């Protein structure tokens, strides 16, 4: 069985839903179809919640336009026999949403929990519509089987329970049934509260289902032809990458390619289930196939991406013997707090430790490190950690990157010759990525230059 996931642009309009219907109805037998909210809706749900919580009455027309957008699609596309039922389901959900907005308008605050509930309405509504449009479509409620737990204040998937519940839910599909599933949303396995898998999380819903069912493939249907050698909005001659390994796709997504939500790859990678990236608006295009090993004719470098909004943190130590202890403690304290940290180095690395964190984690990271190293700082053995903001990571992703020393020096040389300063380099986690840490303002030039050097 296949699991297919259709993103927001694919389910965002009558035209795109017509395409989805065509694609899904040609699949023989059963399939699971995961759907996002109508394109742009999640952003709008959040923006409207903020308006209401700020006491701005404009939330009302915004709410009404979201509701009308759904009703328009239903009235245009849902067969008459099912229409009243779908209208009633969607209107019930919109009444609940309206009560939430009224509450926010009253209390003038936006608690995290309520925001999580608010954003759930997008997928809860779109799935009713898609189930009614597609022949043999039956809606399954992911709040019942995608379960999360709290981990350092974040909601993360409770894998065991979730895969057990998924197996149960889809074990007895009807003949030719297309099981329609709202992506992104989940519920806490202890409290039942509505949670979600993070922005872009519908891909992850698809992966969890594919892994739990041992699906033959996970197809991610989107609005581009696949992974590209770089961001085509920045690099004009970027082209499609027909094949990637799981780790290459993971690294490309972690470092800025917005094709799939990075956590998606883990569950299917473990079960060795191939992922295909396909374009709803150009279904004939071959797309990108993601599998476990490289193909013989794969090019060595699969792409150049950039990740923005980072901070470069530096800790200077006066006693070289301290280096290892500082490194270990830095990792420990930041990872215990669920911060992502990437070690990098440069020519100052003999007496400085360098690493990058998300800009949003920078201030708290500094605070924790200052506390952690207070004894050393007090004795003058270490200086106070400092952070440089507006930093980006340019990532080169491919096979066996650690062996490509001359590539590292070629890229460094070309960047420097064009006046682009590389603040540090690194090769995080795997043998798949080389990182160049730059000033955010030089990233576009760096992408174009590196792309033209490689392709």
Asked if 6 is part of the footprint of ligand ASP (rule: CB under 6 A), the reply reads: no
Asked if 12 is part of the footprint of Mg ion (rule: CB under 5 A), the reply reads: no
Residue whose token pair is 């270990």: 328
Alpha-carbon distance of 26 to 259, in angstroms, equals: 25
Asked if 182 is part of the footprint of Mg ion (rule: CB under 5 A), the reply reads: no
Smallest separation (angstroms) from Mg ion to the CB of 347? 39
Asked if 129 is part of the footprint of ligand ASP (rule: CB under 6 A), the reply reads: no
Instruction: Please choose, out of 141-149, 163-171, 200-208, 238-246, the segment that lies near ligand ASP by the rule CB under 6 A.
Output: 200-208
Alpha-carbon distance of 453 to 411, in angstroms, equals: 8
User: Do 448 and 455 form a contact (C-beta atoms < 8 A)?
Assistant: no
At 280, list the tokens: 């709803």
Asked if 7 is part of the footprint of Mg ion (rule: CB under 5 A), the reply reads: yes
Size of the site for Mg ion (CB under 5 A): 2
User: Do 410 and 441 form a contact (C-beta atoms < 8 A)?
Assistant: no
What lies within 8 Å, CB to CB, of 335 at 6+ separation is 341
Residue 428 binds: one of ligand ASP, Mg ion, none (C-beta under 5 to 8 A by kind): none
Smallest separation (angstroms) from ligand ASP to the CB of 64? 20
Question: Residue with the closest Cβ to Mg ion?
Answer: 200
Asked if 290 is part of the footprint of ligand ASP (rule: CB under 6 A), the reply reads: no
Q: Using CB under 6 A, which residues numbered 18 to 37 contact ligand ASP?
A: 36-37
Please count the residues of the chain.
455
Smallest separation (angstroms) from ligand ASP to the CB of 115? 13
Task: Return phi, psi of residue 233, to 5°.
Answer: -75, -20
309-346 burial: b if 16+ Cβ within 10 Å, else e: ebbbbbbebeeeebbeebeeebeebbeeeebebbbbbe
Instruction: Please choose, out of 154-162, 196-204, 315-323, 364-372, the segment that lies near ligand ASP by the rule CB under 6 A.
Output: 196-204
At 158, list the tokens: 């409770």
Query: Which of 287/428 has CB closer to Mg ion?
Result: 287
Per-residue contact flags (x/-) with Mg ion for residues 199 to 228, judged by CB under 5 A: -x----------------------------
User: Do 369 and 385 form a contact (C-beta atoms < 8 A)?
Assistant: yes
User: Do 356 and 391 form a contact (C-beta atoms < 8 A)?
Assistant: yes
The footprint of ligand ASP (CB under 6 A) covers 7-8, 36-37, 42, 122, 183-184, 199-202
């Amino acid at each position: 069985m296949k699991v297919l996931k259709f993103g927001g642009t694919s389910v965002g309009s009558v035209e795109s839903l017509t395409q989805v219907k065509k694609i899904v109805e040609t699949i023989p037998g059963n399939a699971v179809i995961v759907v996002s909210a109508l394109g742009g809706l999640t952003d709008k749900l959040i923006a409207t919640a903020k308006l209401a919580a700020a006491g701005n009455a404009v939330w009302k027309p915004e709410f009404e336009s979201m509701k009308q957008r759904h009703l328009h699609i239903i009235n245009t596309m849902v067969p008459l026999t099912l229409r009243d039922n779908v209208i009633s389901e969607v209107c019930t959900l919109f009444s609940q949403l309206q009560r939430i907005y009224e509450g926010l308008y009253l209390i003038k605050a936006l608690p995290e929990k309520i925001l999580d509930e608010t954003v759930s309405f997008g997928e809860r509504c779109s799935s009713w519509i898609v189930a009614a449009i597609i022949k043999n479509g039956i809606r399954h409620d992911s709040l019942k089987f995608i379960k999360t737990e709290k981990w350092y204040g974040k909601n993360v998937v409770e894998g065991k329970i979730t895969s057990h519940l998924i197996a149960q839910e889809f074990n007895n599909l009807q003949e030719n049934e297309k099981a329609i599933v709202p992506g992104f949303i989940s519920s806490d396995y202890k409290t039942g509260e509505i949670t979600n898998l993070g922005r872009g999380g519908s891909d992850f819903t698809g992966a969890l289902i594919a892994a739990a069912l041992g699906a033959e493939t996970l197809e991610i249907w989107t609005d581009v032809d696949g992974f590209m050698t770089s961001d085509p909005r920045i690099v004009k001659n970027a082209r499609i990458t027909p094949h990637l390994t799981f780790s290459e796709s993971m690294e490309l997504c972690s470092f800025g390619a917005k094709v799939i939500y990075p956590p998606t790859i883990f569950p299917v990678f473990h079960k060795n289930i191939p992922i295909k990236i396909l374009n709803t608006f150009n279904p004939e295009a071959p797309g990108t196939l993601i599998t476990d090993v490289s193909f013989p004719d794969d090019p060595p470098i699969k792409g150049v991406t950039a990740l923005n909004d980072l901070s470069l943190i530096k800790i200077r130590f006066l006693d070289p013997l301290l280096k290892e202890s500082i490194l270990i403690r830095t990792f420990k304290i930041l990872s215990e707090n669920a911060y992502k940290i990437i070690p990098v180095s440069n020519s100052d690395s003999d007496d400085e430790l360098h690493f990058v964190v998300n800009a949003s984690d920078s201030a708290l990271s500094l605070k924790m490190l200052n506390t952690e190293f207070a004894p050393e700082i007090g004795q003058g053995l270490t200086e106070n950690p400092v952070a440089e903001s507006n930093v980006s990571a340019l990532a080169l992703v491919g096979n066996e990157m650690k062996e490509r020393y001359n590539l590292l020096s070629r890229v460094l040389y070309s960047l420097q010759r064009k006046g682009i300063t590389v603040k540090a380099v690194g090769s995080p986690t795997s043998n798949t990525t080389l990182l160049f840490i730059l000033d955010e303002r030089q990233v576009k030039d760096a992408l174009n230059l590196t792309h033209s050097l490689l392709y």
